[in-house]
Amino acid sequence: MHDENCIFCKIATGEIPVEAVYENENVIAFDDMEPLMPVHTLLIPKGHYSDIGDNVPEDVLGKLFGAVRKVAEAKGLTERGYRILINTGDDASQSVRHLHVHILGGGHMPRPNDQDWGSSATNADKFYD
Residues 40-99 that bind ligand AMP (CB under 6 A): 42, 87, 93-96
Q: Which single residue brings its beta carbon nearest to ligand AMP?
A: 87
The minimum distance between CB 5 and ligand AMP, in angstroms, equals 13
26 touching ligand AMP, by CB under 6 A: no
The minimum distance between CB 101 and ligand AMP, in angstroms, equals 9
CB 52 within 8 A of CB 17: no
64 φ, ψ (degrees, to nearest 5) = -65, -55
The minimum distance between CB 125 and ligand AMP, in angstroms, equals 26
CA atoms within 13 A on the CB side of 50: 6
- 8-state DSSP, 110: -
